[in-house]
Structure formats: C-alpha cells, structure tokens
C-alpha cells in the first residue's frame, strides 16, 4: 500500500500548494494539472492483474477497439451501455498505446471529483482529495465503469449545491448513461434538494423514507430474497451472488465509515460551529451509504448502490473543514486558536482513519485486488 499512500500525499500536497501558495494563474493551473496527473500516471502504468477488472475494462477493451470497427465493437460488449462503449472506443482509437488509454480513463474518473471538491471549498479541497486517493481511488482500478459514473454523480451534486441546475442535470444524465446503476444516485440529489427546503415536514419525511428503506432492506432480506432471486436482466448476475463472500468486509466498511462520521460530528461539534445548508445533506447521504454497505452481508453485489453514496465522504471532509473556520488575524483570539487546533486535529484524524481503513480493506482483506502494485 506504500505507493498508494505516497501518491495520495504527493497529489494532495500539490493541490494544497496550488490553492494556498501560488497566485499566478498559469503556474497554479500547471500545479493543479500535476495533482491530477500523478494518480493518472500510477493508474496507467499498472500491470494487468492490478485491479480485478483491469484486464476486462482496460486491456481487452483497448485491444478490441483498436482491432474492430465501431459496429463490431458494440456487439462485443452488449451488456455495457452504448454510451460507455462509444466513449471507450473513441478514447482507445485516440490512444496510440495502452498506457495512454488507461491514463485517459483515469483522467475521466478523477477530474470530476477534483472539480467537485474545489467547488465545495478551494482552500480545503486537498483534504477531500487525500481521502479520495486513499480510500476510493484504489478501487477505481477495478470498478472502472462505475467509478467514472460515481465521479460524475459527485460533480452533479456539487453543481446542485451551487444551483447550476442545467449543468447538474446534464452531468447526472452522463453518469446514468455510463452506468445505469447511477439511477440510484438520485437519492443523493433529492436529499440535497429537500435539505434546502424550508418546510421541515418535507425534510423529515424524506429522511424518514431514506433511512427507513435502507434499514428495511437489511432486516427484511429473508422475505425479499425470493423476489431478488427471480430478477433477470443486465444486473441479475450481481444480485444472485453468494451470501457470505463479503460478510467480514461489509461489516468492516459499514462500521468504520459510521464511526468516522460519528466522531466527526460529535468530537468536532460540526453542527454547533455555524449553520450550513450543505453539511446536513452530506452527513445524511454518507450515513445512508455507510448503513447500506452492510447489505452486502446478504448479497455480495448489493454494496454497489452504496458506493455512489460513500463517494461523497471526501466532499463531506472538505465541507467539515470549512466549518472549522480559517483564522484571518496574525494575533489569534482564544476562539481562533481553538479553531486552528481543531483543524489540525481533524486533518490528523482524517488521515489516520484513511490509512487504517485502506490498510485493512485493501491490504488485509485484499478487496479489488490492487495489492501489491505491480508495474506493467
């Protein structure tokens, strides 16, 4: 896992340096490009067996696209959406080598996330990027298609926070067209909209429905199993997976993410510092994501819907940091000093959590088969 940690620290430091230390626009843009390029290079140079689906989404797609016309290529992977097939074919045709193809695919995954984090808070985007690169980025070596869709969904929510509705809808449509399971991401967007509504009854009703359905699926699974088993179609192969394969990892992810969320709220008193219309929906989105991951206790691939919600954790970290205010005076008051100390503690807490999470999830449990990292 060492190379992933080096990648995360270096890339997030470049983002930090660009936002806080550079005023020249051209120089800032160059350093920002470097912050995005480093993870893309790491992804581009990985071997065929680094990432469970790298051989399918990376190697095979590239060689099929380079050796077939678009018409033939679309018939090779009929289970993939037409949009993804078309985009992957175009990128492969424009890529003179497999390395460049993998670089561009990772670029399409990471850029929406970086834009969303910077839209949340440019000064604190580095912390969210650090979290993204440690706990989410490694799994993009496996779930490449869904990872692109997740990044687009997070960007869609960031645009919705900024009330850029047309761009939000367009970005969400792109996410759905790339991977149809992104339809489930509408839960996050509805939560954002409802949380900004002045009618408390409507907000409470939606939260009750969201949490109620999440818990009900877990508790009522034995009665729902016959319905799930009868499902057919593109994703039936996922829904009919074994029931115990991910038992330990599902509980670990659900409990650890819920613990991070609880400590962040209680220990740092996020809701008491300043009122904010973005923190509440992010907390609820991440809480439901943490709970829904435990669905995989029963069916392996039921964790897939929760990945869309878990991908909001980096944005939550950025928004949390923005709650712990930036000191502006040279001679700090006692309150400002307390806030500064809280900021440092929150950074250390987040970094320590990410390292522990990744070490267990990827290193010990071996999820997504990204360890050890091997150069091609």
Least confident piece of the model among 41-45, 74-78, 128-132, 372-376: 74-78
Say if residue 231's pLDDT is above 60.
Answer: no
Compute CA distances 74 → 6, 86, 160, 234, whole Å.
38, 8, 33, 16
Can you give the residue ranges of every domain in the chain?
2-369
CB atoms closer than 10 angstroms to residue 17: 16
- How does pLDDT run across 294-319, given as a tens digit for each residue? 776 666 556 777 889 899 999 999 98
pLDDT of residue 327: 46
Query: Mean pLDDT across the chain, nearest whole number?
Result: 81
Least confident piece of the model among 61-70, 158-167, 349-358: 61-70
Residue 86: beta bridge partners?
Answer: none
Say if residue 271's pLDDT is above 70.
Answer: no
pLDDT of residue 301: 57
What length is written for the chain?
376
**Cβ partners under 8 Å of residue 305, min gap 6:** 181, 184, 292, 295
**Which carries the bigger pLDDT value, residue 48 or residue 79?**
48
Compute CA distances 105 → 22, 62, 117, whole Å.
29, 11, 20
Say if residue 117's pLDDT is above 90.
Answer: yes
Q: Residues of the chain with pLDDT > 90: what percent?
A: 28
pLDDT tier, 113 (very low <50, low <70, confident <90, very high otherwise): very high
Nearest 5 degrees, angle CA 108-CA 20-CA 348? 80
Tell me, what DSSP letter sits at residue 327? P
**Residues 126/16, Cβ–Cβ less than 8 Å:** yes
pLDDT of residue 101: 86
- How does pLDDT run across 15-58, given as a tens digit for each residue? 999 988 888 889 999 999 999 999 999 998 988 888 877 776 67
| Encoded tokens for 217 | 């699926």
**Cβ partners under 8 Å of residue 345, min gap 6:** 268
**Which carries the bigger pLDDT value, residue 204 or residue 244?**
204
Say if residue 7's pLDDT is above 90.
Answer: yes
**Which carries the bigger pLDDT value, residue 32 or residue 324?**
32
pLDDT of residue 328: 46
- How does pLDDT run across 333-350, given as a tens digit for each residue? 554 555 567 778 888 889
pLDDT of residue 192: 87
Q: How many CA atoms lie within 13 A of 367 on its CB side?
A: 25
Say if residue 171's pLDDT is above 80.
Answer: yes
Say if residue 351's pLDDT is above 60.
Answer: yes
Closest by Cα among 97, 95, 88, 110 to 40: 110
Say if residue 221's pLDDT is above 70.
Answer: no
pLDDT tier, 257 (very low <50, low <70, confident <90, very high otherwise): confident
Q: What is the DSSP string of 248-315?
A: HHHHHHHHHHHHHHHHHHHHTTHHHH---TTHHHHHHHHHHHHHHGGGGGTSGGGHHHHHHHHTTHHH
Say if residue 198's pLDDT is above 70.
Answer: no
Q: Residues of the chain with pLDDT > 70: what percent?
A: 81
């Amino acid at each position: 896992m060492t190379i992933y940690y080096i990648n995360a620290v270096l890339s997030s430091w470049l983002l930090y340096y660009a936002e806080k230390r550079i005023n020249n626009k051209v120089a800032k843009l160059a350093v920002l490009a470097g912050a995005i390029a480093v993870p893309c290079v790491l992804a581009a140079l990985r071997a065929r067996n680094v990432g469970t689906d790298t051989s399918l989404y990376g190697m095979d797609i590239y060689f099929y696209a380079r050796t077939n016309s678009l018409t033939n290529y679309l018939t090779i992977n009929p289970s993939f959406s037409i949009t993804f097939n078309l985009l992957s074919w175009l990128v492969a045709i424009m890529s003179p080598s497999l390395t460049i193809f993998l670089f561009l695919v990772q670029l399409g995954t990471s850029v929406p996330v970086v834009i969303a984090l910077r839209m949340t808070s440019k000064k604190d985007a580095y912390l969210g990027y650090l979290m993204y690169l440690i706990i989410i980025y490694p799994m993009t070596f496996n779930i490449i298609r869904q990872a692109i869709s997740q990044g687009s969904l997070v960007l869609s929510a960031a645009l919705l926070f900024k009330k850029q509705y047309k761009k939000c809808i367009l970005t969400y449509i792109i996410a759905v067209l790339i991977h149809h399971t992104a339809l489930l991401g509408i839960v996050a967007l509805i939560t954002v909209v409802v949380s900004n509504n002045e009618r408390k009854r409507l907000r409470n009703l939606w939260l009750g429905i969201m949490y109620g359905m999440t818990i009900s699926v877990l508790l009522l699974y034995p009665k729902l199993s016959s319905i799930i088993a009868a499902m057919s179609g593109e994703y039936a192969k996922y829904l009919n997976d074994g029931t115990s394969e991910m038992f330990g990892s599902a509980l670990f992810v659900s409990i650890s993410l819920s613990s991070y969320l609880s400590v962040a709220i209680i220990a740092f008193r996020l809701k008491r510092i300043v009122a904010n219309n973005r923190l509440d929906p992010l907390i609820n989105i991440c809480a439901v994501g943490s709970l829904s991951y435990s669905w995989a206790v029963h069916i392996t691939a039921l964790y897939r819907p929760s990945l869309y919600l878990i991908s909001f954790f980096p944005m939550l970290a950025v928004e949390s940091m923005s709650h712990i205010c930036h000191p502006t005076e040279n001679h700090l008051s006692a309150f400002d000093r307390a806030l500064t100390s809280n900021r440092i503690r929150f950074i250390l807490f987040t970094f320590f959590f990410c390292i522990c999470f990744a070490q267990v999830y990827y290193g010990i449990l071996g999820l997504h088969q990204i360890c050890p990292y091997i150069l091609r």
